[in-house]
Amino acid sequence: MRDVELVAVTKRYGSALAVDGIDLAIPEGSYTCLLGPSGCGKTSTLRMIAGHEMVSEGEILLAGRNVTTLPPAQRGTAMMFQSYALFPHLSARDNVAFGLRMRGVAKAERLRRADEFLDLVHLGPLADRLPAQLSGGQQQRVALARALITEPRVLLLDEPLSALDPFLRAKMREELKRLQRELGISFIHVTHSQEEAMALADLAVVMDHGRIVQAAPPRQIFERPASAFVARFIGGHNVLARGAQAISIRTDRCRLDDGAEGPRHHGHVRAVEYLGAAMRIVVVAEDGTEAEAMLPDSTPPIALGEAATLTWNAADEHALAA
């Protein structure tokens, strides 16, 4: 069973093509991240699934039902926006209960359910506070509870973590994953962050210019990027030429020349960064080709401008499609 299926979905704004005939199947109860550079069509795709944007061509199925022309409230989806859009004059509890008011649920039942969902996001004790009396992270939990109280089959999240500081972002990230697992519904999450997608996704969907360039579990994308674009975008890879063939090699598989057999990249050191658990160096060859390596933090100091040779095992090279 699939929670969401996109069939040849295209979105045009006037003559501008934002999403270009994409097919995508999202398995039941899974966490999907849509990622890619700015303008690649992530948000348009999410908004078409929600019904906030009509498709120009193609079909959208939710749990096997064709919802292409249905309004948002009849789709079984809920959306959590980047800006949380809470009502400033309503308490956290009333904000959460609001989702049910629109559906004609009686007041006592609404408030009881609102408390249940506030507990789910660990905000039970703050139910009476107004949004202005809550931190950004807490407001976001209220918004999350408000989206979840309608018991959607699919929760859509548009860059939900981008407004948070790095510490809170990591905490909320864990929280999102926990909720998705506990509720057993599908989350579809738009992000700019490769790291976020890696950490959260069962299925990571990399987009470029309105197309899906790879859709696979994060580990598979990292170990076998489909193209030079994906290898560069996902990070942690060097993309190098082998004659007419492009290959990728993980930067953590590169090491300083230790005399062992293997491909080599010789040049001088252009950058050295101490990253705590690792040291990142960039080596530029005579012809301008760059390669970087994540070296163990125990590596002896290397000076800028020094000659250096990187090497790796040929078996770790991955051939890229053109």
Ligand X SMILES: Nc1ncnc2c1ncn2[C@@H]1O[C@H](COP(=O)(O)OP(=O)(O)OP(=O)(O)O)[C@@H](O)[C@H]1O
Q: Does 15 bind ligand X (CB under 6 A)?
A: no
Per-residue binding letters, 48-77, with ligand X (x by CB under 6 A): ------------------------------
Q: Within 10 A of 307 (CB to CB), how many other CB atoms are there?
A: 9
Q: Could you say whether residue 16 binds ligand X (CB under 6 A)?
A: yes
Stretch that binds ligand X, among 40-48, 90-98, 246-254, 285-293 (CB under 6 A): 40-48
Is residue 161 part of the contact set for ligand X (CB under 6 A)?
A: no
To the nearest whole angstrom, how small is the minimum distance from the Cβ of residue 17 to ligand X? Answer: 8
For ligand X, the binding residue among 4, 9, 18, 161 (CB under 6 A) is: 18
Q: Which is nearer to ligand X, 80 or 240 (by Cβ)?
A: 80
Nearer to ligand X, 38 or 298 (CB): 38
With binding defined as CB under 6 A, does residue 42 bind ligand X?
A: yes
Neighbours of 100 (CB within 10 A): 21
Which residues have CB under 8 Å from 169's CB, separation 6+?
161, 196
Kindly tell me which of 14 and 276 has the beta carbon lying closer to ligand X.
14
**Nearest distance from residue 174's CB to ligand X, in Å?**
24
Q: Which stretch binds ligand X (CB under 6 A): 32-40, 59-67, 110-118, 213-221?
A: 32-40
Query: Chain-centre distance of CA 195, in angstroms?
Result: 8
- Return the range that interacts with ligand X (CB under 6 A); candidates 41-49, 178-186, 215-223, 234-242: 41-49
Q: Can residue 39 be called a binding residue for ligand X (CB under 6 A)?
A: yes
Q: Per residue in 19-41, is it b (16+ CB within 10 Å) or e — as a string?
A: bbbbebebeebbbbbbbbeeebb
Q: What's at 292, amino acid-wise? A: E
Single out the segment in contact with ligand X by CB under 6 A; choices: 31-39, 132-140, 178-186, 279-287. Answer: 31-39
Helices (H), ranges, the chain? 42-50, 92-101, 107-120, 136-148, 166-183, 194-200, 218-223, 228-234
By three-state DSSP, how is residue 27 classified? strand
Q: What residues does 204 pair with on adjacent strands? A: 33, 216
Residue 160 binding ligand X, by CB under 6 A: no
- Which residues, including other chains, have CB under 8 Å from residue 154's CB and lie 6 or more apart? 3, 4, 26, 49, 62, 76, 77, 78, 185, 186, 187, 188
Taking the C-alpha atoms of residue 26 and residue 77, their distance in angstroms, rounded to an integer, is 14
Q: Which residues of this protein are in contact with ligand X, per CB under 6 A?
A: 13, 16, 18, 36, 38-44, 192
